[in-house]
Structure 1
Amino acid sequence: MLSFHALEGDRIRLRPLAVEDAPAVHDYASDEQVSRFIGWRLMSRPEETAAFVDTMLQREAAGTHRYASIVEKSTQTVIGTAMLFNFDQEANRAELGYVLHRGYWGKGYGTECVALATGFAFDVLKLHKLQASVVDANVGSARVLEKNGYRLEGRLTDHYYLEGRYLDALLFGRIQDQG
């Protein structure tokens, strides 16, 4: 069976998230421009990021989440994190998440990552539906989802509380047979 941690596209591949990825994760988790869009608390110290990576690894070990480091193939650089989580076995759905280092925004890496994760979720996990939520100001992420066949399903007012202010969430979804 194909693994989430072995997906490969033209320019990126996914591999298991590792403790050694914490410095690369810190590069984007400590960037205010990235943090304001992803729903993670801004990481100001490398130790905070290392603890967060450890939490992600614990969640994956418990089977509640799947995390993968996004690696740019040409440089073997970790440029982001992909995740599947909030699995609902009865409804046969899950949530998709992804975050990229700001230096890789607007270059098609997010679109490729979402295509790989979506294909895996539908073809291997046989999910009926994938969902994703984005901060309403995150126009780039909304475009990535739309390019991959996700449809805007709604808005949650003041859903996120980040850096001392409330932000709306846009809810996107894709049913397996749509796209």
Structure 2
Amino acid sequence: MTHALISTPRLTLRQMLAQDWPLFLRLNRDPEVNRFIRDIESEDILQQKFSARCFCEDFFAGDWLSLTIMYGDDAVGLMGICCIDNELLQAEVGYLIAPEYCGQGIATEALTALSQWALTQYQLHKIVGRCVDGNMASARVLTKSGFQLEGILRHNHRIGGEWLDERFYGLLAP
């Protein structure tokens, strides 16, 4: 798949392009954006991840379909979906929003649109989202997008050497 376009009344989700590198680098290097996600990685590692995510050759082989969230002419965030189990038709979603655009419903609107599109496009049975316990903003995005809390795995994620509990959410196909 070379291009994916998903539109809502306010947003467009388009395939991530080479021109999105500055946004990718900025969001993945921002300590506030990543405080509930991961340790900050080197620019070299991020460049490798970016290059791999600009091309989704085979969704069902585990390639991320990475999208840039456009709000008008502004690139305001990144969102992706990846198949995690072919037999069970399950995928996982992830998203990063620029801090200046947080709290405006952009992540919820984009996730809802992506989820509806992916359930149909890939005939998925379930989409999974996860966040560390304490990341209430992400938990709200998932819940408002129709995901249901399915469980909390204790000490399932590690950031800054600290083990954190992780909340798993699921959205089932209708």
Match of 2:171 in 1: 174
Question: Is 1:61–2:57 an aligned residue pair?
Answer: yes
CA deviation after TM superposition for structure 1 residue 163, in Å: 2.0
Provide, for residues 22-59 of structure 1, a one-character-per-residue CA deviation record: whole Å limited to 9, x for no partner: 111122111111112233x41464x553333113235x
Question: Is 1:118–2:121 an aligned residue pair?
Answer: no
Helix, strand or coil at the partner of 2:138 = helix
RMSD: 2.1
CA deviation after TM superposition for structure 1 residue 62, in Å: 4.7
Q: Residues 10 and 99 of structure 1: is their aligned pair in 2 closer, same or farther, counting only changes over 3 Å?
A: same
Length-normalised TM-score, structure 2:
0.88
Question: Is 1:42–2:16 an aligned residue pair?
Answer: no
Match of 1:25 in 2: 24
Instruction: For structure 2, list consecutive stretches of 5 or more residues without a partner in the other structure.
Output: none
Helix, strand or coil at the partner of 2:87 = coil
Length-normalised TM-score, structure 1:
0.86
Match of 1:96 in 2: 93
Percentage of pairs with the same residue: 27
Match of 2:76 in 1: 79
Whether the 8 Å contact between 2:77 and 2:98 is mirrored in structure 1 is: yes
Moved over 3 A (4+): none
Match of 2:12 in 1: 13
Instruction: For structure 1, list consecutive stretches of 5 or more residues without a partner in the other structure.
Output: none
Find the aligned partners of 1:4 and 1:110 in 2 and give their Cα distance. 20
Number of aligned residue pairs: give it: 171
